[in-house]
Amino acid sequence: MQQGKKLSALCILNVLKEYSDENHPLKQLEIAKKIENTYGIALERKSVGYGIDSLIDFGFDIIKTSKGCYLGEREFEPSEISFLVDAVFSSKALDSQHSRQLAQKLSGLLSVHQRRKYKYICKADQIVRTNQKQLFYTIDVLNEAIEKGKQVEFNYNRYYFEENEKKKNFRYKINPYFLINNQGKYYLVCNLDYYDDIANYKVELISNIKLLDSPVKPITRLKDCEKGVDMAEYANNNIYMFNNKPVKATLKIKEPYSAEYVMEWFGSAANFYKKDDQLFADIKANETALIFWCLQYGDTIELVSPDSTRAEIAKKVATLQKVYK
């Protein structure tokens, strides 16, 4: 008898999760009918009421109204689910099948009525994505390696031409340190064991990964990493995930709206100030990435310093001018 009460309470909870929300409350008879249709269990209205009260006593947020009852607080709010689903679709690191599966799992945390807005799940195939179906397995192995402090070995599937065909079978022995999601793609921040500098690899291009028994080389033994690496700072400095050293730079913002671009990429790390009625921002970024970034926004943002980086931008602009003359 006690087991039956526990089972009926679980069925009631599942029905409320699936079919009820603030705009779609369920009466006790409706709940009983859905339980019978779904689980083949016949419950009287009073039993449903008792089960609802038991769930409330146990801490579930079930709201009673004159029109029925519904599950109030859920694991995620609809707006949070919407944000997460959009993040899944915007990530090119996932193939279309995984995108649909993840979106369906996330939207499954809402009622059937709330999840109708996610019908665009079927459009996942229309987005240009990686075909790497081993992505999740690769991430699992890398997480395990990082946690255990072990090396990994893998193939790295660059877009090789015929003269580089032999590189397809090359096995990279890697010291993994952490993973970064940058612009919708996962990168492994690591060290190629034969060298003493830090490196980044796109996780989607990794295949045939193997966890090794050998311990990782401590990151403090790498060049310019003697004091370790702050993951957040590293991600902020390496906006395009290039490997060279970051530089301190000053930007002149010619149009006020362009300050949004600086905030979008550098966030609160950018120091804005005015000088001679002109807006400036001091930032810190990977030099190669900064050059590409300045070329992208060069019509409204000018790199003032350092002079060496400014000179590199001038060289690239001159080259482009010849190409497009």
> Do 221 and 301 share a domain, yes or no?
no
pLDDT in tens, 147-176: 899 999 999 886 554 445 556 678 999 999
Query: What CATH number is given to the structural domain containing 26?
Result: 1.10.10.10
- How large is the average pLDDT for residues 184-197? 85
> Do 168 and 150 share a domain, yes or no?
yes
> Do 278 and 307 share a domain, yes or no?
yes
The reported pLDDT for the residue numbered 89 is 67
> Do 102 and 184 share a domain, yes or no?
no
- DSSP-assigned states of every residue in 108-124: TTS-TTGGGGGGGGGGG
SS3 category, 185: strand
Instruction: Give domain status of residue 64, yes or no.
Output: yes
Whose structure tokens read 């003697």? 226
> Do 146 and 220 share a domain, yes or no?
yes
Q: Give the number of domains in the chain.
A: 4
pLDDT in tens, 14-63: 899 888 888 889 999 999 999 988 888 888 888 899 889 989 988 888 99
Are the CB atoms for 183 and 202 separated by under 8 Å?
no
Residues in the chain: 325
Instruction: Give domain status of residue 104, yes or no.
Output: yes
> Do 140 and 225 share a domain, yes or no?
yes
> Do 66 and 100 share a domain, yes or no?
no
The reported pLDDT for the residue numbered 242 is 62
Q: How far apart are CA 68 and CA 66, in angstroms?
A: 6
> Do 295 and 311 share a domain, yes or no?
yes
Burial class (CB within 10 angstroms; exposed 0-12, middle 13-18, buried 19+) of 84: middle
> Do 187 and 151 share a domain, yes or no?
yes
Give me the amino acid identity at 8.
Answer: S
The reported pLDDT for the residue numbered 153 is 96
The reported pLDDT for the residue numbered 126 is 47
Instruction: Give domain status of residue 235, yes or no.
Output: no
- The residue from 204, 229, 254 where one domain ends is 229
Are the CB atoms for 130 and 139 separated by under 8 Å?
no
Whose structure tokens read 């009631």? 12
pLDDT in tens, 191-201: 999 889 888 88
Instruction: Give domain status of residue 312, yes or no.
Output: yes
Are the CB atoms for 201 and 174 separated by under 8 Å?
yes
> Do 197 and 225 share a domain, yes or no?
yes
- The residue from 198, 229, 260 where one domain ends is 229
Instruction: Give domain status of residue 240, yes or no.
Output: no
Instruction: Give domain status of residue 292, yes or no.
Output: yes
pLDDT band of residue 314 (cuts 50, 70, 90) is very high
pLDDT in tens, 62-117: 999 999 999 888 877 776 777 677 677 666 666 667 777 887 788 888 888 776 65
Residue 11: CB partners within 8 Å, gap ≥ 6? 35, 38, 39, 41, 43, 51
Instruction: Give domain status of residue 241, yes or no.
Output: no
pLDDT in tens, 219-273: 999 988 888 877 767 766 666 666 667 788 999 998 877 887 888 778 778 889 9
* 210 beta partners: 153
> Do 176 and 257 share a domain, yes or no?
no
> Do 82 and 63 share a domain, yes or no?
no
Which residue range forms the structural domain that includes residue 67? Answer: 2-71
pLDDT in tens, 207-222: 899 999 999 999 999 9
Q: How far apart are CA 253 and CA 274, in angstroms?
A: 10
Query: What CATH number is given to the structural domain containing 144?
Result: 2.30.30
Task: Report which DSSP code applies to 75.
Answer: S
The reported pLDDT for the residue numbered 162 is 47
Instruction: Give domain status of residue 237, yes or no.
Output: no
- From 228, 210, 209, 208, select the one nearest 218 (Cα to Cα): 228
